[in-house]
Amino acid sequence: MGIEIERKFLLRDTSWRSLADGVQYRQGYLSADVERSVRVRIAGEISTLTIKGASKGISREEFEYAIPASDAIYMLDHLCLKPLIEKKRYRIVVDKLCWEVDEFFGENSGLILAEVELNCPEQIIQLPDWVGEEVTDDSRYYNASLVKQPFAYW
């Protein structure tokens, strides 16, 4: 069993843009409730099915499996809750940590988030200059929540 330990942040500015190229993501949810989420994702050429448990602080159980692209496309088009999440993800390494910056499109246009995965909940990190307010505890910023209440309607 995998454990995801992650913190989320808004961004101060756009200086991060020059630090990485992005990869297009298309993802949807077969289930998106407080206790669990089941996500289908196509990230570039990689298709996955991910099951996540309920959040416990900044941690939650996570299981991820590779699936055929044709299965992912079918599930996204026919089975997943709408709207789908469309975003471009930029991976930026700072002080040996990989920051993932997500620039959202579609009904979540205008939202840009940075997240960082940690080794333990107590891990101390230095925030890059372009990282702003922490929103880890605000469930509106979870991708599964953005399907139910897209950023355009906040």
**Which token pair is 40?**
């289908």
Sole residue written with tokens 């471009």: 88
Find the angle CA(64)-CA(47)-CA(88) to the nearest 5 degrees. Answer: 100
CA angle 51, 145, 64 (to 5 degrees): 15
**Residue tagged active-site, from 25, 29, 90, 142:** 29
Q: In this structure, what DSSP letter does residue 56 have?
A: B
29 is catalytic: yes
Contact predicate 22/89, CB 8 Å: yes
Residues annotated as part of the active site: 29
